[in-house]
Amino acid sequence: MPLTRISLRAGKSPDYRAALIRGVYRAMRETFAVPEDDLFAIVHEHDAAGFAYGRTYLGIPRDDDLVLIQITANATRTTGQKRALYRAIAGNLADDPGVRPGNVFINLVEVVPENWSFGEGAMQYGPPETT
């Protein structure tokens, strides 16, 4: 059910972008109880003028290899699960495709279950419809 948006500077290879998706998805499967095949991810590439960031915000050095990850998911996870997710994503992306952990920025957006439609105009996670 998570929707993952990954933003980065333009110019990375298709293999690099695919590794980003794999690393985030694997972390969600391992730490966030995301079922198999529940994969919805979009990679956005930006030129220099469309990609701004704080190079040292909170004392964390960042450079043009920064990867911004926004995950929209149901508000059902514990703080511990969220911490585990952030660590797993940073670790996975360090391993492949080689993103420095300081360049992994994650934003989790939590929503109520009825805010999803996975197709056919249905509210799959909402309360039963009454007539």
Please give the structure tokens belonging to residue 18.
């695919």
- What pLDDT digit, counting tens, does each position of 62-119 carry? 999 999 999 999 999 999 999 999 999 999 999 999 999 999 999 999 999 899 999 9
Query: Domain total for the chain?
Result: 1
Q: Is residue 93 part of a domain?
A: yes
CB contact burial 4-27 (16+ within 10 A = b; e otherwise): bbbbbbeebeeebbebbebbbbbb
The pLDDT of residue 126 is 85
Q: How far is CA 34 from CA 3, 64, 103, 121, in A?
A: 11, 30, 24, 22
Span 3-27, pLDDT tens digits: 999 999 999 999 999 999 999 999 9
Residue 120 lies inside a defined structural domain of this protein: no
Query: Does the residue 121 lie in any domain?
Result: no
- The reply to whether 18 falls in a domain is yes
Whole-angstrom Cα distance, residue 107 to residue 16? 21
What residue type is assigned to position 90 of the chain? Answer: A
Within a domain: residue 124? no
Question: Looking at residue 102, what is its pLDDT?
Answer: 98
Residue 2 annotated among the catalytic residues of the structure: yes
Residue 50 has which token pair? 């469309």
Residue 60 lies in a domain: yes
Dihedral sign from CA coordinates of 19, 20, 23, 24: negative
The model carries a pTM of 0.94
Which range of residues forms the domain containing residue 41? Answer: 3-115
Which candidate in 2, 14, 61, 127 is catalytic?
A: 2
Residue 126 lies in a domain: no
pLDDT digits (tens, 9 = 90+) for 29-73: 999 999 999 999 999 999 999 999 999 999 999 999 999 999 999
Is 9 inside a domain boundary? yes
Question: Which domain CATH number covers 71?
Answer: 3.30.429.10
